[in-house]
Structure 1
């Protein structure tokens, strides 16, 4: 797992953000949560997490997006971090699951058929419309295709071998226009975990969601 500080000004509070599969810092580096450090996690070829720099924080808010919800659930189950609020966006702790995540056949098909063309189509499905997709293309992650393939395969292996985490989340945000993780499956997962849900009309990747839960996370209770 990569851990990159986008803001490291030694504030007493930290936004700890677990991004989705294939991510890097490129789409998220312009968010500036007020009076807060901002640590981005991505690349789940392993779930190795270094908590040593987090000892100084008195308040940590965790936001997980997409596959980052699963990764954050696993990390929070392993480390006793001083987390005051946990927000999941368009993801579940059960990422490869027939009824609570991405159906396994679809996940395996994405892995088996991953090419530059199929990745382009995947990114288009993440976005609400052509205008949102064109904007996203200006800030797409800059990672090699083979690395993304490795990450998909590693997530599947780890998910199959690790016990599911039932670490509680304070809020799950589910977009009804998510074309990556079926919204009905997301709702199934959160009902199973008895987690409060905020249903929106958003797509899987939606700029206003990130403004609300990254930029304004400390004023958005």
Structure 2
């Protein structure tokens, strides 16, 4: 796993952002807001990942998107961190699951078909309409295809074995999400935390485009 500071200005608030599969910092480079943001991504191996230092911050928040929801639950269940608020977006703690995540058959087909063409098709399906597809050219990750395929496989294998559950404060579910079915998300979050239903696709950051709004 990798980590990278998106913003580090010595603010009073720290946001720990767990990115989605295959992404890098470009996914959220346009988001506005105040405070420091530390991003985690590339979940090929999250064993032994050390907790970030949060001393000096008055508030620590977690924002997790897609596969980052599972990754956050794994790491936060291990780390002795005080977190004030946890937000999940278009994901659950069971990312490969018939009822609560992406159906295993669909996931495996996606993994096996992840070549250049398959990757572009996947990105297109994440988005809600042509306008977002045009915008996403500026947010498309610059990662190597082979490591993205490895990450897909690693998430499938690890999420079947490592299945923690932590407390979340809010979950955003986008009705038009065809990657991570909205119904399965609601199945998981019902009774667990506040659920906010929004219009849009799997990629949420043209609607939720400000850390403070999130």
**Which TM class, normalised by the smaller chain length?**
over 0.9
The secondary structure found in structure 1 opposite 2:62 is: strand
In the TM superposition, 1:23-42 aligns within 5 A as 23-34=23-34, 36-42=35-41
In the TM superposition, 1:17-96 aligns within 5 A as 17-34=17-34, 36-47=35-46, 48-96=48-96
Paired residue for 1:167?
166
Paired residue for 2:208?
210
Gaps of 5+ in 1: none
For the Cα contact (< 8 Å) 1:128–1:206, is it kept in 2?
Answer: no
The normalised TM-score by structure 1 is 0.91
The secondary structure found in structure 2 opposite 1:210 is: coil
In the TM superposition, 1:122-161 aligns within 5 A as 122-161=122-161
The normalised TM-score by structure 2 is 0.94
Cα RMSD of the aligned pairs, angstroms, is: 1.5
The secondary structure found in structure 2 opposite 1:9 is: coil
**Which 10-residue stretch deviates more, 88-97 or 203-212?**
203-212
- State how far apart, in whole Å, the 2-side matches of 1:4 and 1:114 are: 25
Number of residue equivalences: 213
- Residues 68/204 of structure 1: CA separation in 2 closer, same or farther (3 Å cut): same
More helix by share: 1
Deviation at 1:194, TM superposition (A): 2.0
Paired residue for 1:109?
109
Gaps of 5+ in 2: none
For the Cα contact (< 8 Å) 2:168–2:192, is it kept in 1?
Answer: no
Paired residue for 2:118?
118
- State how far apart, in whole Å, the 2-side matches of 1:57 and 1:175 are: 31
Paired residue for 1:199?
197
Deviation at 1:79, TM superposition (A): 0.9
- Residues 175/18 of structure 1: CA separation in 2 closer, same or farther (3 Å cut): same
For the Cα contact (< 8 Å) 1:177–1:183, is it kept in 2?
Answer: yes
Deviation at 1:52, TM superposition (A): 4.1
For the Cα contact (< 8 Å) 2:95–2:101, is it kept in 1?
Answer: yes
- State how far apart, in whole Å, the 2-side matches of 1:157 and 1:146 are: 17
- State how far apart, in whole Å, the 2-side matches of 1:171 and 1:206 are: 15
- State how far apart, in whole Å, the 2-side matches of 1:27 and 1:129 are: 17
